[in-house]
Amino acid sequence: MITARGNIANALTDNFLKEVHITQDQFNVGQQMLSLGIVLFEIPSNMILYRVGAGKWLTLQLFLFGTVSTFQAFQNSYSSFCASRFLLGMTESGFIPGGLWTLSTWYTRKETAKRVMFFYFGNQLGQASSKLIAYGILHMRGVGGKPGWFWLFVLMGAFTIFSGFILGFLLPDSFKNPHSTFLPNVSLFTPRELCILRKRVIRDDPMKGQKKKRIGLPAFKKAFSNWRMWIHFLITLSNNGPQRAFDTYSPSIISAFGFPSLTSNALASVGLFLQVPTSFAFSYISDRFNKRGPTVIAGISMHLLGYIFNRIFTEFTGRRGVKYFGVVWTQTFGTFSHPLNIAWIVIMGANIAGIYGAQIFRSDDKPKYRRGFSINIAVLTVGAFLAVVGYIDDVWRRRRIARQVRDNFSDQTLVDEEKRRGSAVGGVDDIKAVAPRTIG
**Span 169-194, pLDDT tens digits:** 999 988 788 888 888 888 888 888 88
Question: Nearest Cα to 151, choosing from 162, 163, 138?
Answer: 138
Task: Give every residue of the chain whose pLDDT is below 50, as ranges.
Answer: 427-440
Q: What is the dihedral of CA 127, 129, 134, 137, to 10 degrees?
A: -150
How far apart are the C-alpha atoms of 87 and 64, rounded to whole Å? 9
Q: What angle do CA 93, 68, 36 make, to 5 degrees?
A: 35
What pLDDT shows up at residue 340?
A: 56
Domain 226-404 fold is: Growth Hormone; Chain: A; (1.20.1250)
Q: Residue 44: is the preceding peptide bond cis (ω within 30°)?
A: no
Secondary structure of 51-89 in the HEC alphabet?
Answer: HHCHHHHHHHHHHHHHHHHHHHHHCCCHHHHHHHHHHHH
CB-based burial label for 400 (10 Å; 0-12, 13-18, 19+): exposed
Would you tell me which CATH number, out of the four given (1.10.1740.10, 1.20.59.10, 1.10.1040.10, 1.20.1250.20), belongs to the domain 1-215?
Answer: 1.20.1250.20
What pLDDT shows up at residue 230?
A: 86
**CATH code 1.20.1250.20 region(s) in the chain:** 1-215, 226-404
Q: What pTM did the predictor assign?
A: 0.84
Task: Indicate the SS3 state at residue 147.
Answer: coil
- Which residues are CB-neighbours of 32 under 8 A, at least 6 positions away? 354, 355, 358, 359
What pLDDT shows up at residue 439?
A: 38
How far apart are the C-alpha atoms of 40 and 54, rounded to whole Å? 20
What pLDDT shows up at residue 167?
A: 92
Task: Say if residues 262 and 139 touch (Cβ distance below 8 Å).
Answer: yes
Task: Indicate the SS3 state at residue 178.
Answer: coil
Task: Indicate the SS3 state at residue 366.
Answer: coil
How far apart are the C-alpha atoms of 303 and 313, rounded to whole Å? 16
Task: Say if residues 309 and 326 touch (Cβ distance below 8 Å).
Answer: yes
What pLDDT shows up at residue 430?
A: 47
